[in-house]
């Protein structure tokens, strides 16, 4: 079950594309767009990442950091970030601990085929570490606009 708005965002420590561990608490005092995506270098995930990349200057104006999380490893993240010039941190949750803590592993229906996987989701975390807004499941088209609108209200 996806975490709800108003709850304290679970802290974590995950390896990032800069080859160092990142924890959520190190971002306290800033807002965080924490987005979970299924797989590096796939069409929907690429479109979503590039939308965040292209709007990062607008996002930063709201005193916000962007962190992308998937179950791919750091090496995969590095290739993905390099290929698309991603200008924000990607974090590797290879053991699914953070995905499970945020409730983004669940049933997916793709063209009538039911499977268990990562449900594309975005959490906006306020400066005090609480979840201010949840988007789940996410439709990529228009998502970054909804995120920007929410950031301006938080």
User: 111 falls in which pLDDT band (50, 70, 90)?
Assistant: confident
What's the rounded Cα separation, in Å, for the pair 122 and 141?
A: 14
Instruction: Name the residues annotated as catalytic.
Output: 45
Mean pLDDT computed over every residue of the chain: 94
Mean pLDDT across 40-68 = 96
Through-space distance between the first and last CA atoms of the chain, rounded to whole angstroms: 24
Fold of 31-153: Glutaredoxin (3.40.30)
Nearest one of 90, 86, 85 to 74, comparing CA atoms: 90
Domain locations along the chain: 31-153
Q: Could you tell me what percent of the chain has a pLDDT over 70?
A: 100
pLDDT of residue 78: 96
153 contacts: CB under 8 Å, gap ≥ 6:
none
pTM of the model: 0.94
Question: Which pLDDT value is given to residue 2?
Answer: 78
What are φ and ψ of residue 6, in 5° steps?
95, -15
Band of residue 80 on the pLDDT scale cut at 50, 70, 90: very high
Query: Is pLDDT above 80 for 125?
Result: yes
CB atoms closer than 10 angstroms to residue 90: 26
């Amino acid at each position: 079950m996806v975490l709800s708005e108003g709850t304290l965002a679970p802290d974590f420590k995950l390896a990032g594309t800069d080859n160092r561990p990142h924890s959520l608490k190190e971002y306290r005092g800033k807002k965080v767009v924490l987005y979970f995506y299924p797989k590096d270098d796939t069409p929907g995930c690429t479109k979503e990442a590039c939308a965040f990349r292209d709007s990062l200057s607008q996002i930063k104006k709201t005193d916000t950091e962007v962190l992308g999380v998937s179950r791919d490893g750091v090496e995969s993240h590095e290739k993905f970030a390099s290929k698309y010039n991603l200008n924000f941190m990607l974090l590797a949750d290879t053991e699914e601990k953070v995905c499970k803590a945020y409730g983004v592993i669940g049933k997916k229906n793709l063209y009538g085929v039911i499977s268990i996987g990562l449900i594309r989701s975005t959490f906006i975390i306020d400066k005090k570490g609480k979840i201010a807004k949840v988007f789940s499941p996410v439709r990529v088209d228009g998502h970054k606009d909804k995120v920007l609108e929410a950031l301006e209200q938080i």
